[in-house]
């Protein structure tokens, strides 16, 4: 029987790749939600990016950095998250493909 991580792998990989592209700066939660909305939120097994983020955080694959404001907070990929991508041969292609579609759809028309 497949584990949750194996079943949801593509959704996890997409969010992790996007965070990995941002590096140590991380990605503000609102920007991630907005980005996913603009690209049509191509998640396979999840309704929203926030659902994926919660699961990735529970697994230790991302860090959620918060301050005192409810409207702030950013996501960073953890070392475990980077290892997860490497172990599964994800090279950033999912994120780059979606970002290039976004550029074509919104910037080149």
Residue spans per domain, the chain: 4-107
Between 70 and 35, name the one with better pLDDT: 35
CATH of domain 4-107: 1.10.10.10
Give the mean pLDDT of 58-72: 82
Q: What is the mean pLDDT of the chain?
A: 83
CA distances from 107 to 23, 44, 59, 86 (A): 24, 26, 36, 31
Q: What are phi and psi of 26, to 5 degrees?
A: 75, 180
Give the mean pLDDT of 17-32: 88
Between 56 and 6, name the one with better pLDDT: 56
Strand ranges of the sheet holding 62-65, from the earlier edge strand across to the other edge? 27-28, 74-77, 62-65
Between 103 and 69, name the one with better pLDDT: 103
Between 14 and 108, name the one with better pLDDT: 14
């Amino acid at each position: 029987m497949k584990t949750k991580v194996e079943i949801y792998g593509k959704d996890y990989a997409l969010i992790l790749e996007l965070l990995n592209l941002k590096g140590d700066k991380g990605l503000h939660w609102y920007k991630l939600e907005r980005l996913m909305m603009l690209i049509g939120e191509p998640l396979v097994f999840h309704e929203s990016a926030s659902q994926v983020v919660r699961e990735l955080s529970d697994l230790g694959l991302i860090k959620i950095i918060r301050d005192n404001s409810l409207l702030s907070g950013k996501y960073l990929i953890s070392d475990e998250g980077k290892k997860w991508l490497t172990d599964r041969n994800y090279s950033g292609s999912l994120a780059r493909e979606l970002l290039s579609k976004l550029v074509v759809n919104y910037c080149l028309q």
